[in-house]
Structures are given as structure tokens and as C-alpha cells.
Amino acid sequence: MGTKTRRSNIKHGKYSLALVLPANIKKGEQSTLAANRLVLIDPRAEIDEEDLLEFLETYIEPQFWPWYQKKKQNAPP
């Protein structure tokens, strides 16, 4: 099953922030990621970053935001 957690962003260098991945996630020497508002990460770099970005833009982003808006509208005040 998946992992869910809330993590702190850590200042890294002059402009970047780092996100520490939970210990129970298998990691490689590099990671690939695609991001906009959401971040999709392959911590073992087995998936090309172009493929991740295409998947994020084609499947995740268009489905997520309508679902999230509906959830917010149905939430108790």
C-alpha cells in the first residue's frame, strides 16, 4: 500500500527547498519528478521525467482539481 505523510520543507542552498522522503520508501541514487501544483516523484528514477510530466498533465491534474473542488463544496462548514 502507499504512504501518506506531511513533511517539512528544508531550506537547501540559496533558492531551493528539500523534501526528505520517508524511510520506508525505496530510493535510488537519483529521483525523477514532474511538478506543477502537484508533484509526482519516482524515487528510484526508473521512469523518465518526460513520461512523468506527460502522465501528470494528462491524467492526474485534469482529474484531481474537479474532484478536490467538489470535496471542498461538500465539506461541512
Please report, for the chain, the start and end positions of each structural domain, with discontinuous segments joined by +. 9-74
The predicted structure's pLDDT at residue 2? 85
Model pLDDT for residues 30-72, shown as the tens digit of each residue: 999 999 999 999 999 999 999 999 999 999 999 999 999 999 9
- Rounded to two decimals, the pTM is 0.81
The predicted structure's pLDDT at residue 67? 96
Per-residue pLDDT at 77 exceeds 90:
no
What is the Cα–Cα distance from 25 to 3, expressed in whole angstroms?
Answer: 8
Handedness of CA 3, 1, 56, 69 (dihedral sign): negative
